[in-house]
Amino acid sequence: MSNHHRGVEALERMMLIRAYEETLVDLHGRGRAAGTCTSVGQEAAAVGVVSALGPDDQILTNHRSAGHLLARGADPRRMLAEVTGKADGYCKGMSGSLHIAAKELGVILTSTIVGGELALATGVGLSRSMLGGDGIVTCFFGDGAACEGRFQESLNLAAVWNLPVLYVCENNQWQAFVHRKETTLADGVTAQAAALGVAAATVDGNDVEAVHAAAATAVETVRRTRRPYLLEARTYRLRGHFEPDDQSYVDPAELAHWRDRDPILLQRARLERDGLLSADEVLRMEGAVRRTMDEAVAFAEASPYPGFDQITAAVYA
């Protein structure tokens, strides 16, 4: 794929993720969906990393998982069906928005427990190591999870056992309602990896092309060496921790600064500046995304609720 096509495709995928989450927020506001943790503002990190993965690679993610799933090719219709509790969802409506798994896409876990995916990544990595092949495991987590002991434990075990795990910290500056500056004196998380003998890199998480380049290097390194690697994407969460959230605890100047660094606006400006995107093309893309989400809402509304047999099929008696 040419850089032109990749750049435009990345913008389209980020626009879809943004539209999906804004649709979900709107449905929640009208009492038609449960609250959720959005990743608005973090789209470049998701798209940049996932676009660098191969089809046999696996993903473990956290409660802000919509971007990772949609970047991986998840169907927005089945996503919305899932979060509204309908039978046509990826988990037959039983996961909500915080626990979606899509085995056919290699997304094997979404954990709403902070750092829960870190505790399981080593097991999945060991499985990949024992089964052979060149597939790797990618584990997404936030800077809040990086303050927990399981972060150190997971990286250390992956290093000692030579596990093919790419750790991706989406450092969005906020840990629920607490700023990261209140929880750690370190500016980032990569120094912790170095202390454990794990290769690491930091990237501008709001620049989708920079993220893709850094992730491509990281993926190739893990695939070749079969050893862990930590990639820290410095980004920002533009909406609150959990919907609804008025962000009254956020410094307005800080929020304004990061709104100016919106990854969608940055990528659109780059493509327009380089003559790779016209105003008409932007309108076409916006229209396509709107139609996709309208179809997704209609699909979810038409989908039935799971029957009793489905609800009890995966439950131990």
The CA distance from 132 to 185, in Å, is 40
Instruction: Report yes or no: 179 and 157 within 8 Å, Cβ to Cβ.
Output: no
**pLDDT digits 0-9 by tens, 152-180:** 999 999 999 999 999 999 998 877 788 78
From the list 198, 58, 59, the residue with the least C-alpha distance to 133 is 58
Is 241's pLDDT higher than 70?
Answer: yes
The CA distance from 4 to 143, in Å, is 32
Is 76's pLDDT higher than 90?
Answer: yes
**pLDDT digits 0-9 by tens, 214-236:** 999 999 999 999 999 999 999 98
Residue that the structure tokens 């079969």 belong to: 226
Fill in the DSSP letter of residue 104: G
**pLDDT digits 0-9 by tens, 13-56:** 999 999 999 999 888 878 878 878 889 899 999 999 999 999 99
Res. 316 pLDDT band, cuts 50 70 90: low
Instruction: Report yes or no: 207 and 266 within 8 Å, Cβ to Cβ.
Output: yes
Which is higher by pLDDT, 184 or 17? 17
Q: What are 212's two structure tokens?
A: 């893709």
The CA distance from 114 to 118, in Å, is 9
Q: Residue-wise over 98-123: b if at least 16 C-beta within 10 A, else e? A: bbbbbeebbbbbbbbebbbbbbbbbe
Is 60's pLDDT higher than 90?
Answer: yes
Q: What are 27's two structure tokens?
A: 């449905």
Res. 211 pLDDT band, cuts 50 70 90: very high
pLDDT of residue 1: 42
Distance between start and end Cα atoms, the chain:
51
Instruction: Report yes or no: 125 and 137 within 8 Å, Cβ to Cβ.
Output: yes
Fill in the DSSP letter of residue 1: -
Domain 7-292 -> CATH class: alpha beta
Q: Residue 9's beta-bridge partner residues?
A: none
Q: What is the pTM of this model?
A: 0.93
**Total Cβ atoms within 10 A of residue 255:** 15
The CA distance from 60 to 27, in Å, is 27
Is 250's pLDDT higher than 90?
Answer: no
Fill in the DSSP letter of residue 45: H
% the chain with pLDDT above 90: 68
The CA distance from 214 to 207, in Å, is 11
Q: Where are the alpha helices (DSSP H) in 235-307?
A: 252-259, 263-273, 279-302
Q: Residue 166's beta-bridge partner residues?
A: 138, 229
Residue-by-residue DSSP string for 148-199 = SHHHHHHHHHHHHTT--EEEEEEE-SEETTEEGGGT-SSS-SHHHHHHTT-E
